[in-house]
A and B are shown apart, each in its own frame.
Chain A
Amino acid sequence: EVQLAQSAAEVKKPGESLKISCKGSGYTFNIYWIGWVRQMPGKGLEWMGIIYPGDSDTRYSPSFEGQVSISVDKSISTAYLQWSSLKASDTAIYYCARVDWDSYYMDVWGKGTTVTVSS
């Protein structure tokens, strides 16, 4: 079964750093993009960016470029989303999803990681 397992919920203070993870299983990890999607409390979905594990090619939404960093360790089939200095406005659920290599739709989703940033 194709699955994406996301890391547990995090509670952080403003200014702290954070790296959350997304581990793929049940398929050939290297040949599908992994995407990240933000959902702020009570709001809609926001496309953040995608990474191709085969060569680490990364594409960001202009809204998130420079605000987060997406990376991958293909040896352990895991993608990451990282912040160097969190803000309260980063409080959200972050979903990872498998992205079709050709048409870029998100066909398998993780359950989400809740990130809470509060002083």
Chain B
Amino acid sequence: EIVLTQSPGTLSLSPGERATLSCRASQRISSSYLAWYQQKPGQAPRLLIYGASSRATGIPDRFNGSGSGTDFTLTIRRLEPEDFAVYYCQQYRSASGTFGQGTKVEIK
């Protein structure tokens, strides 16, 4: 089973700052099968990025995904108040999927 390790565990930033979140896979995965989600307290997760770099419908362009192989990144260009949440990466390979443990982006 592929393990996804996200870092940092918590990111303390101010509105307007740039957030850079990392997701590292224990084995190489296809970029097609790497997605990012946002979850706010009491809500279901929401798809942000699929195929490592494609924004889902309705996602603002301040959210950008990049990477390949084993290293993937989610960048939030200028944090808005509504962006403070937990972010998860997720992969699918060999008939099974896994999520990373999450990165919490909190207000500094």
Question: Which residues of A does B touch, CB under 8 Å?
Answer: 35, 37, 44-47, 50, 59-63, 95, 97, 100, 102-107, 109-112
The total of chain B residues at the interface (CB under 8 A) is: 25
Does the CB pair B88–A45 fall under 8 Å?
Answer: yes
Does the CB pair B44–A107 fall under 8 Å? no
6 more CB-based (< 8 A) A-B contacts, given A107-B56, A111-B44? A44-B102, A45-B90, A47-B99, A105-B47, A105-B51, A106-B47
Chain B, residues 62-94, CB within 8 Å of chain A (1/0): the string is 000000000000000000000000101010100
B86 to chain A, nearest CB (A): 8
Can you list 12 residue pairs at the A/B interface with Cβ under 8 Å? A45-B37, A46-B99, A47-B90, A47-B97, A50-B97, A59-B95, A61-B96, A63-B1, A105-B33, A105-B92, A106-B45, A106-B47
User: Roughly how many angstroms separate A104 CA and B34 CA in the complex, as a whole number?
Assistant: 9
Q: From the candidates A45, A107, A110, name the one contacting B99 in the complex (CB within 8 A).
A: A45
Q: Complex Cα distance A62/B98, Å?
A: 10
B20 at the A interface (CB under 8 A):
no
Q: Bound complex: CA of A106 vs CA of B35, how far in Å?
A: 8
Give the docked Cα–Cα distance between A12 and B72 (Å).
40
What 3 pairs between A and B have smallest CB-CB spacing? Answer: A104-B92, A105-B35, A47-B97
Contact with A along B13-56 (1 / 0, CB 8 A): 00000000000000000001101010100001111001100001
A35–B35 Cα distance when bound, in Å, is 14
